[in-house]
């Protein structure tokens, strides 16, 4: 396949796919916010709502970057600022939203633990505090990207020794820590639920709806983790390959570089899709979420007709406050 064909395919993907994904993703994110915000918030719902808001910001920013590319022919102050922001903002938003996903996994582990002091840690107040700390921490921790990203030979990126540091940074904080932490916590949460199921409950009729709600939120969170692992893993690997080939192959051909850039573009598109996918993941994986979504439209229709809305009982809702037993 010639480099011209790859370039054409890449430009068409950028123009059409990013726009479609942004529109569908933002529509889905709006529904997530409505469905979780309309219930009494618990810690997990706060993390999911916060993640959804960041996802929408990421989708909108990245879509405009792809639709309206900036060419760095003139190395002006404006060009340098845009170059730095293009690398810095999506990276920080991605780290923040995946931190919220890990925190949601931690919350599910805490709330399903048989120890009362573990369950007591899961509160909306602590969740809001951790959300604020994450939003403050990552822009400071990742400021080296904005500082070191620059323009050389009309190309915006990371160069020299920092390109190696940046690749390792992405591999660790995108490709390793979030999926490993989320997967481990998911397994521990599943084990907690299994232990609770095997215990003899003195008030089993009370515990059944609580356990069902915990399982539904766990299914939602772990389904998102699974999709994240699949869509995010290629990106750090292609960055590592590009770093190795840049330092080993002295005269890299134009065709080889074009193929690398094409694969990198596909990897970035997969990550972009990940930020638009949560609503559709929840719809597919969770029966309770589908039920809540259906009742949302039923209530909208009933309001339009002047009829009373349907109120769900506590054990039927997905995002009620967790009850500790």
**Distances from the Cα of 133 to the Cα of 96, 139, 174, 281, angstroms:** 10, 11, 19, 27
With a cut of 60, say whether residue 241 has pLDDT above it. yes
Q: For position 219, what pLDDT does the model report? A: 84
What mean pLDDT value characterizes the chain?
Answer: 82
Q: For position 148, what pLDDT does the model report? A: 93
- 25-39, 86-100, 109-123: lowest mean pLDDT where? 109-123
pLDDT per residue over 30-81, tens digit each?
A: 999 988 886 656 888 899 999 999 999 999 998 888 777 667 666 678 888 8
- 29-43, 96-110, 121-135, 185-199: lowest mean pLDDT where? 185-199
**pLDDT class for 116, splitting at 50, 70, 90?**
confident
Q: Identify the CA nearest to 102 among candidates 181, 46, 216.
A: 181
**pLDDT class for 24, splitting at 50, 70, 90?**
very high
Residue-wise burial string across 162-171, b where 16 or more C-beta atoms lie within 10 A, e elsewhere: bbeebbebbb
First-to-last CA distance in the chain?
62
Average pLDDT value for residue range 10-20: 81
Report percent pLDDT > 70 for the chain. 83
For the domain with range 3-304, which CATH number is right: 1.25.10.10, 3.40.1190.20, 2.60.40.10, 1.20.1070.10? 1.20.1070.10
């Amino acid at each position: 396949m010639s480099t011209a064909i790859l370039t054409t395919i890449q430009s068409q993907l950028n123009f059409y796919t990013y726009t479609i994904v942004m529109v569908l993703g933002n529509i889905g994110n709006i529904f997530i916010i409505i469905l979780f915000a309309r219930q009494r918030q618990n810690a997990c719902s706060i993390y999911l709502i916060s993640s959804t808001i960041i996802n929408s910001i990421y989708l909108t920013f990245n879509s405009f970057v792809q639709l309206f590319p900036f060419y760095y022919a003139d190395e002006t102050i404006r060009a340098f600022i845009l170059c730095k922001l293009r690398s810095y903002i999506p990276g920080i938003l991605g780290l923040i939203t995946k931190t919220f996903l890990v925190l949601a996994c931690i919350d599910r582990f805490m709330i399903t633990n048989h120890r009362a002091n573990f369950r007591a840690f899961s509160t909306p107040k602590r969740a809001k505090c951790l959300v604020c700390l994450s939003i403050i921490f990552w822009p400071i921790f990742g400021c080296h990207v904005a500082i070191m990203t620059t323009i050389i030979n009309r190309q915006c990126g990371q160069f020299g020794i920092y390109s190696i540091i940046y690749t390792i940074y992405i591999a660790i904080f995108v490709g390793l820590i979030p999926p490993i932490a989320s997967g481990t916590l998911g397994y521990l949460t599943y084990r907690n639920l299994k232990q609770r199921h095997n215990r003899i409950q003195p008030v089993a009729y009370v515990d059944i709806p609580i356990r069902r709600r915990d399982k539904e939120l766990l299914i939602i969170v772990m389904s998102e983790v699974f999709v994240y692992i699949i869509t995010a893993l290629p990106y750090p690997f292609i960055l590592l390959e590009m770093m190795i080939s840049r330092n080993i192959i002295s005269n890299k051909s134009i065709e080889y570089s074009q193929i690398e850039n094409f694969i990198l573009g596909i990897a970035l598109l997969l990550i972009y899709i990940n930020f638009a996918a949560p609503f559709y993941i929840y719809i597919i994986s969770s029966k309770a979420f589908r039920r809540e979504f259906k009742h949302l439209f039923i209530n909208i229709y009933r309001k339009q007709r002047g009829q009373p809305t349907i109120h769900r009982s506590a054990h039927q809702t997905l995002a009620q406050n967790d009850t500790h037993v």
